[in-house]
Amino acid sequence: MHNMYYIGLDVHKRVISYCVKDGSGTIHGEGKIPATRVDLDRWMKTLPQPWTAAMEATMFTGWIYDHLKPHAAALQVAHPLMLRAIAAAKKKNDRIDANKICDCLRCDFLPVCYMASTAIRERRRTLRYRNLLVRQMVQMKTKISTLLMTAGVSYNKERLHKAGYFCELLASNPDINEGLCSLLKLCRETLVRLSKTESALVRSLEHDPLLVERVKRLMSIPAIGPITALTWALEVGEVQRFSSIKKAISYCGLCGDHKSSGNTVQRTPLSKQRNKHLQTTLIEAAKMAPRYNSTLAQLYNKERQKGNVNRATLAVARKLVAYLMAVDRGQTHFLVLDNEVPKAA
């Protein structure tokens, strides 16, 4: 029976620090290698077999994980906040960090976090790029309004970004000079180009064979549109990783931090430890949801009487998470019965 070798990796943009140990904790190698695929291949040829590795979750982890996974007996990614709490020390450098990650892996103390499949992460990257385009579109719309206001030009706010009204405004308003007109046209062209690109990205994801059936089921829930369904599917990945609705709600950032001491329980704002993409999308969906479902409207009104609008919106968002979990786990469409009590089919 072969001994397993454990490797801790401290990942950075340009270099990767590593530490190799056996089961008894004896160091068999440590050092630094450039963070490139060629150098990783060369390094892996020198490793004792079999080996398992662990690294902290960073923005550089994905491609390194994908490159090492076929060659490792096992590969794990650690939750950065929990890892810092476990491995906190007075002295800190890359070599020490790699050593501690190796020890956590070897002693089974590593706080493992979920790593989505490569296919899901690639599509998630596309959706997040779409979110960037939406933010840029909003900036362009704001810029158009700002240019008009700074020049003292009156305009219809509700119709400003419609193509017909915009062309009419440029042609008929004497307060818009040649320089301002060219800037406005440039902003409008950028806005149109961004809008077309955003629509193309959404269509490509909606018709993706990996997502099409799942998104169709999720969209059977009232108030869940294509963006919310895609965001849930790609940000959550495998819904089975949540053992309860409460854990899914916590992951979505729809609950506050829990602080209690003795008999005192303190109410806190929403936790910063969350998936910000899911949180934003679900809250926006929850604002519209009461218009499409009477059960959600009753919940909104009930919570609205207890507190403010934000509390009611959060209550609806949590209910949407419960609906999404039910449909996604059961892999069935959502049904609303005659008595308006929603259930998963």
DSSP letter for 14, please.
S
Apex CA 109: angle with CA 55 and CA 122, to 5°? 35
Whole-prediction pTM: 0.87
- pLDDT band, very low/low/confident/very high, at 345 (cuts 50, 70, 90): very low
**Cα(317)–Cα(324) distance, rounded to whole angstroms?**
10
pLDDT of residue 259 exceeding 60: yes
Q: For the segment 124-136, what is each residue's pLDDT rounded down to a tens digit?
A: 999 999 999 999 9
Least confident span in 92-101, 219-228, 268-277 = 268-277
Q: What SS3 state is found at 20?
A: strand
Q: Quick one: pLDDT at residue 338?
A: 45
pLDDT of residue 243 exceeding 60: yes
Q: In sequence order, which residues have a C-beta less than 8 Å from that of residue 40 and are 6 or more positions away?
A: 16, 33, 64, 67, 68
Cα 53 off chain centre by: 25
Among residues 25, 188, 16, 15, the alpha carbon closest in space to that of 6 is found at: 25
The amino acid at residue 18 is Y
Average pLDDT of the chain is 89
Partners of residue 77 on adjacent β-strands: 55
**Cα(215)–Cα(206) distance, rounded to whole angstroms?**
7
Cβ of 244: how many Cβ atoms within 10 Å?
9
Q: Quick one: pLDDT at residue 336?
A: 63
DSSP letter for 256, please.
B
Q: Quick one: pLDDT at residue 204?
A: 95
pLDDT of residue 30 exceeding 80: yes
* Burial of residue 112 (number of CB atoms within 10 Å: 0-12, 13-18, 19+): middle
Q: For the segment 93-134, what is each residue's pLDDT rounded down to a tens digit?
A: 889 889 999 999 999 899 999 999 999 999 999 999 999 999
